Structures are given as C-alpha cells and as structure tokens.
A and B are shown apart, each in its own frame.
Chain A
Amino acid sequence: MAESPTRRITIVEVPGVPPTVPTVPPEKPPTIPNIPVYSVYISANKTYVYTGETVRIRVDVVLAETPYAEYVLPVTLYANGESIATENMRFPVGAKSQSIEFEVTFTLPSGVTEKTYSVYAETPDYATPVS
C-alpha cells in the first residue's frame, strides 16, 4: 500500500487586526436655525421739536417665522448716518413681532438755529437663538 503523501501545513500566525467597531459620531444637539427678519419699521412721536426736547422713536420688527425658542436681534439707530444707540431686541417663544423704544434728545450745536436729522434703524438679516 503506497504511503499517501503528507501535506505539511505551516500555520503562520499573522498579528491579528482587531475587529473594526463602527464608530458612532458623538451626538450633537439639534441646531436651531436663525430666523430671517421680515420687516423693520420706524416711527416717532413727533418730527418737529426744539433743541433739548426728547423724541420717542419706536422700532417695530417682524420676523419671517414664529420663533419656537428665544431669539435675539440687535437694533441700531442712526441719525444722519451716525450710530446713536444699539439695543438687543428679545423675541420670546411665539412672539413673531417686537417693538423697542428709544428716547433721543436732540441738542443743536451753538450757532445753529435749525437742523434736520435723518433717522433710521438697522438690524442684521437674521435673528439668532439665545444659546
């Protein structure tokens, strides 16, 4: 009986590669989107005053969507192109529109008997959520 050939098998141990464990990205808190500003409206309680008199200037802002979190929006008031005041307007949950009132006292420089001030309000395009 012929001897069957023996197959020699050498087992070489290869350093094992650890099994890959799928990495789960850390869970991010859901981002709250900014809300665009729909309109900015300005009005004053009087437009004809004498020097030293205070004018109440009201700025009404309407957002494009109803906020489901608290949002903030800086409002800057300009007179003849110069910034005269900045205030943060807060939009609580559900408040799509808000108003802010500035009390501005106009005092003429000496020697000037009359001056016209061109006043407007400016806001960024988007209200941002309060972190």
Chain B
Amino acid sequence: MVKRSRKIEIRVKKGFKLALKASRYTRWGETLPLEGVRIPVYDAIYFSLIKECYTPCEVILPAGLAVRIIAPATAYSYVFVEWSDGKRERDRVINMVKDIELEARYSPP
C-alpha cells in the first residue's frame, strides 16, 4: 500500500502566444473583423522580422522576448484608432511574459 498526494497540473509551452486581430468600427459603434491586415512582428532589440502577420494570426514566442508590432496607419481605407487595450500608438513594444491577444481597431475615414 502506498500513500499518494493529490495531483498538480503543470502546463509546459514552447513559449507564449501572441494573437493579433484587426477590426473596424461601423457607423453604429459596432466592430467588424478586418482580415488580412499586415501587422509585422519584430524582435524589439535586433529589429529582425519574426513574422509577417496577416490578421487574424497567432504566433508562439519565447517567454520573456520583447517584440515590436506595428499596425498600419490605414487598412482598406480605414484609419487606425487604437489597440483593444486602449493604447493609441501604432508602433509598440510588448514583453512576452504571458499570452497576449491584441486587436488593432480602425474607423471609417
């Protein structure tokens, strides 16, 4: 007979997930997805391209990596407004310490 402890779950990942999306506001304040908007993901230190993301896209990045993402100023004639977390800089640096999901939001011109 043996004495057994409870089980603990340990999740192991290759890295953290960066999910990028784009959407546009309608004139009624709703958002509709914008597909195929190019948001490149760079290494923030070496500025080397990690991935050409076309929304919606997901990329697994090593934990702790600082990445730079740049949303285009316009997409399908829509104008960049903000990211889903409220930041208004198109060009931003993110530290990959967790799974991150960001949406670039555009409005009609």
Contact A113 B60 (CB under 8 A): yes
7 A-B contact pairs sorted by A residue (CB < 8 Å): A40-B3, A42-B6, A47-B10, A48-B13, A55-B10, A116-B9, A123-B2
Smallest CB-CB separation from B99: which chain A residue? A48
Distance of A71 Cα from B36 Cα, bound (Å): 66
Smallest CB-CB separation from B62: which chain A residue? A50
Distance of A123 Cα from B2 Cα, bound (Å): 6
**Size of the chain B interface, CB-CB below 8 angstroms:** 19
Contact B9 A49 (CB under 8 A): no
Interface string of B1-29 (1 = CB under 8 A from A): 11111111111111110000000000000
Distance of A51 Cα from B8 Cα, bound (Å): 18
Distance of A75 Cα from B10 Cα, bound (Å): 19
Interface string of B45-82 (1 = CB under 8 A from A): 00000000000000010110000000000000000000
Contact B12 A120 (CB under 8 A): no
Give the residues in chain B near A51, CB-CB below 8 Å: 12-15
**Size of the chain A interface, CB-CB below 8 angstroms:** 34
Distance of A78 Cα from B4 Cα, bound (Å): 10
Interface residues of A in 15-58 (CB under 8 A from B): 37, 39-44, 46-51, 53, 55, 57
Distance of A44 Cα from B7 Cα, bound (Å): 11
Contact B4 A40 (CB under 8 A): yes
Distance of A49 Cα from B6 Cα, bound (Å): 20
Give the residues in chain A near B60, CB-CB below 8 Å: 113
Give the residues in chain B near A43, CB-CB below 8 Å: 8
Q: For the complex, is A72 an interface residue (Cβ under 8 Å from B)?
A: no
Contact A113 B13 (CB under 8 A): yes
- A111 nearest CB across to chain B (Å): 10
Contact B7 A124 (CB under 8 A): no
Q: For the complex, is A65 an interface residue (Cβ under 8 Å from B)?
A: no
Contact B9 A121 (CB under 8 A): no
Contact A114 B6 (CB under 8 A): no
Instruction: Point out the residue from A50, A120, A122, A123 that lies within 8 Å of B16, measured CB to CB.
Output: A50
Contact B4 A117 (CB under 8 A): no
Contact B12 A50 (CB under 8 A): yes
* Most chain A beta-carbon contacts within 10 A, residue among B9, B15, B62: B9
